[in-house]
A and B are shown apart, each in its own frame.
Chain A
Amino acid sequence: MSRYLLLFLLNAPFVIVAITSSLIGYKLGKVSRRKFVLQVILWLIVLAGLAGAYSIYQFLFSQRLTESEPLSLFDVVQVTFIVYLLFKSSRHSFHQEALERRLKDLHQALSISTSEKK
């Protein structure tokens, strides 16, 4: 199997899951339209980069803009890991923000309700 195809197959699921969860968040009203569009654009750029990795490499090589070796298995693992980190950090940042918001609201409500009982 071509290493470029392997790179695409390994990373495409992250992109699909990220776009799907953004779409679900948007449809459930948790994400604004602007943020949803920006996220989809970001992940489509990643997907385009993965799908066109071979053509991009060929173009850069023919224009003498790179002299690096063609994709190695190590490169595949490395790129997959970077995409995975991007995927995880995007999800964590969403969860962290939601938790911060809930904690803040809880603290606020608790302080007001405690002061009313005194």
Chain B
Amino acid sequence: MSKPSKKKVALVIPAYNEGAVIKNVIRGLRKAFSASAYDCEIIVVDDGSRDDTARQAKAAGAKVISHILNTGSGGATATGLSYASQNDFDIATTSDADGQHAPEDVLKGVNVLAKGNIDLLIGSRLIDKAGMSKVKVLGNRGLSFITYLLFGINVTDSQSGLRVFSKRALSELKWKTSGYEFCSEMLWRAKQIGLTIHEYPIKAIYTDYSKAKGQNNWNAFHIVSILMKRRITELFSE
């Protein structure tokens, strides 16, 4: 009897000016998945970086897709998942390029999705808030609450970058926004097409580097204004 073939997993990392840390992030993921039962490919989507992100990622052995223009995190994620869908991957993950997510949490998410009847799995930093500042907790809780008000989706961490997608989610899930607001919009679209959404706890690793690069809470207002505009215009536009 032939052995069942390994599941193909795409580990997508959208990256913008992450040349300083991308190598370590790729190495960490490779190490975590090396002993796993999956056939993995690490895909870095370089979103028009001005530094050597693409070169560093390639040197670390990742498949690199380079955007000609900087589109934003949502656009880079869409490109990575589109590549995964076109290349017939069974599961795909997205994780941040600044090393905020533990590679073990990415593997844990893939294991959970592979076992259960789940289409979209979100790694929530707010189930166990250890390592997060009060300001970050407040900002993320606020955006999750607004996501609930606008789209009726109740999740604890709507802005998490660590997500795991089933094959169905890869082929059917599309969104329109390109910036960080895509995190909430993606959940809305997933709900619209009837995908099963679940969460699992992850830990957030904040280094001086990620704190310096990360989003500040003022960006939340920008995200909310775009989401509200999208929600209203979609009532009337074609």
Contacts and interface: CB of A to CB of B under 8 A. Distances in A.
B118 interface: no
Given A107-B71, A111-B67, A35 B236 contact: yes
Interface stretch (A53-61, A69-77, A93-101): A93-101
Contacts of B83: 112
Contact of B237 (A97, A110, A111, A114): A97
B79 A94 contact: no
Interface residues of A, number: 22
Contact of A104 (B64, B66, B71, B234): B71
A108 interface: yes
Contacts of A100: 176
B238 A30 contact: yes
B236 A104 contact: no
Contacts of B86: 112
A104 B72 CA distance: 11
A115 interface: yes
Interface string A11-30: 00000000000100100001
B24 interface: no
Given A104-B178, A107-B69, A115-B65, A38 B238 contact: no
Interface of B: 45, 63-69, 71, 75, 78-79, 82-83, 86, 176, 178, 233-238
